[in-house]
Structures are given as structure tokens and as C-alpha cells.
Copies of this chain bind each other. A is one copy, B any other.
Amino acid sequence: MRPSARQADELRPITIARQYTKHAEGSVLVSFGDTQVICTASVEEQIPRFLKGAGQGWITAEYGMLPRSTTDRMGREAARGKQGGRTLEIQRLIGRSLRAAVDLKRLGERTITLDCDVIQADGGTRTASITGACVALVDAINHTRSLGLLDDDPMLNMVASVSVGVYNGEPVLDLDYAEDSNAETDMNVVMNDQGGFIEVQGTAEGAAYSRDELNAMLDLAQQGIAQIIQIQKQVLND
């Protein structure tokens, strides 16, 4: 029995509100249950120094948590003077995942920065961030195209993410905080809408996991992400 009384293969309610703030070219509030993240996509007509002359664009991401998005208040990273290892790891993951959604040559010499700021955390903030950022990215690209700055659509495919894990000995989908903090294994999976894997990151928290458990978790992730991509597409059609 899961703390939330969900079935093992049941997602939390997932919502994605577009045009959440007014300044960004793409801006959504994504919720995976009580986990809420503001994802904005900002288009800038310049590229990072290391791409000078490469004739392509860039997608990058930054991640943050409001200090009281968590049960106990966390120190503000800006005040401590550096981003922690977990933050850097997550924003690198978000950036890599979304670059896999875009043809960077076709994007042209511009940078899209995906800012994922967690307003309220209840497990799965990185998977919600990737999922929401992809919708914000589509909106930002469409906005850029509507300005006539970009002829071809550089989007290759949608990208979405979900966590899976082994909780009380059973593989489960989309862990909330109550599960996540007690899971034996925690795995984050990123896939595209053609069923391809972008990223698999599975960590044994206590005991090691078997190849069978790994397979069961991957099965759950595949079907969960397929549902999430449906939600993304529906939201983009509204």
C-alpha cells in the first residue's frame, strides 16, 4: 500500500498551466501532485563563447528551490554563495534532456535558458522540471517563429520524465516525498515521444537492486512517460 493509496503504476494528478508569468517567451507552472515548479524559457539572440563559429544554438537550464519549498527551510543558495552539488547535477540533467529535444543547428545562433524554480516540493522535482520545461520550450520556440526569426521548427520531439523506484519491495511509479525518502531504489528516467531513452539514472539507496527490479522499473517508466507526453500534447493543443 502506497502512502498516497495510489496503484503501483499510477501517476499523481499532473497539470501544466501555460503563460503563467508575462515576461518569458515560454512560462508554465507544472504540478506533479503537490510538487509545483515554475518553468520559464528565455530566448536570447546570442550564444555562449564556446560555440562561437559553430553555426548552432544552445539550450541550457538552471534549477533552484525557494527556501521554504521544503518541509524545513533550506538555506538560500544565493546567500550561501554557491549552488550545491545536487542543484548543479539537476540543472545539468535538465539541460542535457532538453537539448535532446531540439535540432541545435536549426535553432540558429540563439540560446534558450530554461529556469526551473521549485515553489513547493513533494518528490520528483527534477522530473516535473523536465516535463514542464519542454512545454515552455515549445512555447518559446513558437513565439520566436511567430516573430519571423526562425523559419523551420527545430523541435525534434517532446521530452518528458518520471521517477520510478522500489518501495516496500515493490516497483512503483512517480514517487512522492513520503515514498522517495523511504525507497530502496530511486530511478529517474527521461524519454522522448518516440519511445527512445534520453537518460536513465538509477541509484540504490539501501540494498542493491537486481536486473529484474531494474527491468520492472523501466517498464513502469515507459508507460508513465507515455501518459505524461499525452498530457503535454493536450496542453499544447489548448
How many of chain A's residues have a CB under 8 angstroms from any CB in B? 65
The smallest C-beta distance from A70 to any residue of chain B, in angstroms, reads: 6
Contact of A201 among B66, B201, B208 (CB under 8 A): B201
- Contact of A191 with B by CB under 8 A: yes
Contact present for A204 and B62 (CB under 8 Å): no
Contact present for B115 and A42 (CB under 8 Å): no
- Contact of A228 with B by CB under 8 A: no
Contact present for B62 and A40 (CB under 8 Å): no
Contact present for B209 and A204 (CB under 8 Å): no
Q: Which residues of B contact A79 (CB under 8 A)?
A: 62, 83
Main secondary structure of the interface of A (DSSP, over half): mixed
The smallest C-beta distance from A205 to any residue of chain B, in angstroms, reads: 9
Contact present for A214 and B202 (CB under 8 Å): no
Contact present for A24 and B199 (CB under 8 Å): no
| Chain A to chain B contacts (Cβ below 8 Å), 29 pairs | A21-B66, A21-B120, A22-B120, A23-B71, A23-B120, A24-B68, A38-B119, A40-B67, A44-B73, A62-B79, A77-B78, A78-B82, A81-B82, A85-B85, A85-B91, A85-B92, A88-B88, A96-B203, A192-B208, A195-B210, A196-B204, A196-B207, A196-B209, A197-B202, A197-B210, A199-B202, A199-B204, A200-B202, A211-B222
